[in-house]
């Protein structure tokens, strides 16, 4: 499955969930909050991994909430 905020790789019972919005400092958007539980639930329900590693791309791991969430999608 393709996600807007994450890449998911599972090998040898190790799941790696990588934040992939590095150019946007991996800020958290509504898509982030929909996708992350869906990914974890799928891994858990299918017993696909014994461990989950959360990694990131870009300069910062995560800069927190995307400010557009608070402005209704308008640039601040």
The whole-number pLDDT of residue 76 equals 44
Which tokens go with 63?
């800069």
Contact residues for 14 (Cβ-Cβ < 8 A; gap 6+): 49, 50, 51, 53
Q: Which of 32, 41, 2, 61 is nearest to 15 (CA)?
A: 41
5 vs 13, 14, 42, 47, 53, CA distance in Å? 22, 19, 16, 23, 15
Question: What structural domains and CATH numbers belong to the chain?
Answer: 6-64 (3.30.300.220)
Q: For residue range 52-69, what is the model confidence (pLDDT) as tens digits?
A: 999 999 999 999 999 888
**pLDDT (tens digit per residue) in 3-42:** 999 999 999 999 999 999 999 999 999 999 999 999 999 9
């Amino acid at each position: 499955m393709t996600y807007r905020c994450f890449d998911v790789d599972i090998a040898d019972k190790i799941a790696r969930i990588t934040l992939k919005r590095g150019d946007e400092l991996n800020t958290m958007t509504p898509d982030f909050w929909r996708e992350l539980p869906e990914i974890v639930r799928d891994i858990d329900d299918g017993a696909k991994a014994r461990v989950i590693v959360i990694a990131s791309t870009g300069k910062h791991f995560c800069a927190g909430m995307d400010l557009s969430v608070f402005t209704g999608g308008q640039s601040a």
